[in-house]
Amino acid sequence: MIKNILFLGALLLVIIACKTPQRDCNAFKVGEFSYEELIDGQLITTRFTRNDTLEVAYFNETVDSSSVRWINDCEWIVKKIHPKSMSEEKAVHMKILYTEGEFYTFEYSLVGKTKKQRGTAKKLN
């Protein structure tokens, strides 16, 4: 009897742990979003709007425009239109990992680099 209960409990844990996260990328391709990041001990919020070909970011009273090139429904390349430095000329590969409600979790890296970072964005409209 106890073996059956333990087996069912273990089976339930495996089923819950193997749950595939939701990934409704189309709901997050266009719209207005916000993203918060801790920089030098301060929580900084970036607000941005994105359509099929353009992303406009509002950060610390500056506005940056980037081109958007979609690879598939969940991945895209962002490249600044008017970079102000060599580092801003590098394109960034973005990938939605999973979605939940009005949030999506993504990873990003410079194109061609293996070091990836993660973040979560919220859809505002």
Residue 47 near residue 32, CB atoms below 8 Å: yes
**Residue 7 counted as domain residue:** no
pLDDT per position as a tens digit, 28-59: 999 999 998 888 888 889 999 999 999 999 98
The CATH number of residue 48's host domain is: 2.40.128
DSSP string, 69-82: EEEETTEEEEEESS
Domain count along the chain: 1
**Residue 16 counted as domain residue:** no
**Residue 81 counted as domain residue:** yes
Q: Could you tell me the sign of the dihedral formed by the alpha carbons of 108, 63, 103, 41, in that order?
A: positive
Q: Which domain holds residue 44?
A: 21-123
pTM comes to 0.79
pLDDT per position as a tens digit, 66-124: 999 999 999 999 999 999 888 889 999 999 999 999 999 999 999 989 999 999 999 99
**Residue 4 counted as domain residue:** no
**Residue 68 counted as domain residue:** yes
**Residue 107 counted as domain residue:** yes
